[in-house]
Amino acid sequence: MLSRSFIRVPRLARGLATQSGPLTSIPATLHLKTGQSFHGRSFGAPKSIFGETVFSTSITSYTESMTDPSYRGQILVFTTPLIGNYGVPLNKAPFDSQDVGVILESQNIQCSAVIVGDVAEKFSHYTAVESLASWCQRNNIPAITGVDTRAITRLLRDQGTTLGRVAIGDDVSAPPPAAHEFWDPSFENLVDQVSTKEPYQLNPTGSVKIAVLDFGAKANILRSLVRRDAAVTVLPWNYDFNSVRDQYDGLFLTNGPGDPKHCMDAALKLRTTLQEWNKPVFGICMGHQIIGMAAGLDAYRMTFGNRGHNQPVLALASSGSIKAGRVYVTSQNHQYALKLEDPFPQGWEPFFINCNDSSVEGIKSTAESGKKVWGVQFHPESAGGPLDTIEMFTDFVLECKAHKLQTASTFNALKVAESIHDTLVKPIEADGVAVQA
């Protein structure tokens, strides 16, 4: 049964629940570097931009995707024809010292532009405070509606992710840019633009201390750790973790935008960590790619990547909540992947494989290595997407606690054992699902 608070419509939102967004009749065009142009209508900021054109097959969660820092520098094409029908919520978490301050995935829209088949002129949702159009306009993000996103997607699937130009208003009548004029975000270290500049803490009184290297963290990764009562310290992506590692019970590496090779420095530092430090390490997406590079694997650029909330992955090994031989449906957003090498580097094994394209979806340290290290290409925290693999966060926090227990004094061991019990038996609320009444 759904809890009452889940289904109740807040008084404030009721009046706002169904409204039209400010649409314009300004012309807008998407030019691809490969010569094709798609003409539609602007519904966002009256600003022309360059970017890398990618498509997402997600049916819902446009607000979470657009605020995911991994979309930095990208022109995001949604294959779902109608986008915007549930509007945009106020991106502010209720005051709570354990929370990360936002309800979406970061403070701002991170993609460079959005392209939709048909933007919803009316929106309706009890948390909505504005339309997709007004959100884009307020955040200076260009957006196009009225184009054949299916045709764009078919092109991108054939020719791969393609550089693009969104031309708005008067720029529409200008000739398309010459090939050398297209800006290529893959040459830039986008991680450096989105990572925190200073360390900060969340839930400092939590029962296990986890350091998070921030390559462009989605907020739901931080929430998923905090909800399991981890004391989280978020560090800049290139922080010298080895100089502070003894203070922590585990290390987490987040998602992040762009080519992982820009973060080779972090991968080399991590190699030292993995050689000299025996505590649990977990990485998601960019974090997984960094772990792979530290292990000696190579990362390559895929043709069009995987972006959507319906990617099936097969588990090749069992670990914690994950059972070998099962298929999990996952949320994904990536352009790069680790190469499947045979043999795998010593001490490592493939963990998951993608059922559609056989790309590497996860790696782990072998049982013989004596290490506890996992990397997954998909997003167990979803936001949006299915929660099939959310318990990987519980697995990680439990391993950190178990490690802490081994080294604790008798008095502290009792406290740690109690907190392990809590992690196992206390219901974890609000992982993105309705809480049982």
Residue nearest ligand GLN, CB atom distance: 285
The percent helix, strand, coil of the chain (3-state, each to 5) is 30, 30, 40
Residue type, 92: K
Least distance to ligand GLN from the beta carbon of 421, Å? 33
Q: Figure out which of the listed residues 29, 63, 207, 333 binds ligand GLN, where binding follows CB under 6 A.
A: 333
CB of 258 to ligand GLN, least distance (A): 5
Q: Does 384 bind ligand GLN (CB under 6 A)?
A: no
Contacting ligand GLN within 43-102 (CB under 6 A)? 70
Pick from 27, 206, 256, 380: which binds ligand GLN (CB under 6 A)?
256
User: Please, what is the minimum distance in Å from the beta carbon of residue 310 to ligand GLN?
Assistant: 16
Nearest distance from C-beta of residue 268 to ligand GLN, angstroms: 18
Q: How far is the CB of 354 from ligand GLN (least distance, A)?
A: 13
Q: Pick between residue 85 and residue 112 the one whose CB is nearest to ligand GLN.
A: 112
* Spatial separation of the C-alpha atoms in residues 79 and 82, rounded to whole Å: 9
| Segment holding 407, helix H or strand E | helix 391-407
208-214 and 128-130 strand pairing: unpaired
Say how many residues touch ligand GLN, by CB under 6 A. Answer: 12
**Sole binder of ligand GLN in the list 21, 84, 117, 257 (CB under 6 A):** 257
Q: Which helix (H) or strand (E) holds 416?
A: helix 410-425
Judged by CB under 6 A, the stretch of 34-42, 158-166, 235-243, 334-342 that binds ligand GLN is 334-342
331 Cβ contact partners less than 8 Å away, ≥ 6 residues apart: 58, 308, 309, 311, 378, 379, 382, 383, 384, 385, 386
In the chain, the amino acid numbered 404 is K
Dig out the tokens for 210 from the structure: 């986890």
Based on the shown chain and the rule CB under 6 A, indicate whether residue 224 belongs to the binding site for ligand GLN: no
Contact 32, 54 (CB under 8 A): no
Nearest distance from C-beta of residue 41 to ligand GLN, angstroms: 30
- Tokens 């040459």 found at: 187
Which one, 147 or 297, has the nearer CB to ligand GLN? 297
Of residues 274-293, those binding ligand GLN (CB under 6 A): 285-286
* Binding residue (CB under 6 A) for ligand GLN from 74, 110, 161, 335: 335
User: Which residue, 136 or 286, is less far from ligand GLN as judged by CB?
Assistant: 286
Residue 285 a catalytic site member: yes
For the chain, the farthest-separated pair of C-alpha atoms sits apart, in whole angstroms, at 75
Residue 362 binds ligand GLN, judged by CB under 6 A: no
Residues 6 or more apart from 409 whose CB is under 8 A from it?
none
Q: How far is Cα 3 from Cα 295, in angstroms, rounded to an integer?
A: 45
Residues 133-192 that bind ligand GLN (CB under 6 A): none
Residue 221 sits in the site that holds ligand GLN (CB under 6 A): no
Q: Of the listed pieces 21-29, 232-240, 252-260, 344-352, which binds ligand GLN according to CB under 6 A?
A: 252-260
What per-residue string of b and e applies to 229-253 under the rule 16 or more CB within 10 Å gives b? bbbbbbbbbbbebeeeeeebbbbbb
Is 379 a catalytic site residue? yes
CB of 255 to ligand GLN, least distance (A): 3
Taking CB under 6 A as the criterion, the residue among 334, 371, 401, 404 binding ligand GLN is 334
Pick between residue 257 and residue 308 the one whose CB is nearest to ligand GLN.
Answer: 257
CA torsion angle 276 281 287 293 (round to 10): 40
Q: Specify the residue, 16 or 253, whose C-beta has the smaller distance to ligand GLN.
A: 253
Query: Which of these is catalytic: 262, 288, 334, 379?
Result: 379
- Measuring CA to CA, which residue among 301, 309, 289, 297 is closest to residue 341? 297
Element containing residue 11 per DSSP (H, E)? helix 11-14
DSSP reduced 3-state for 222: helix
Annotated catalytic residues are 285, 379, 381
Which residue ranges make up the site for ligand GLN (CB under 6 A)? Answer: 70, 255-258, 260, 285-286, 333-336
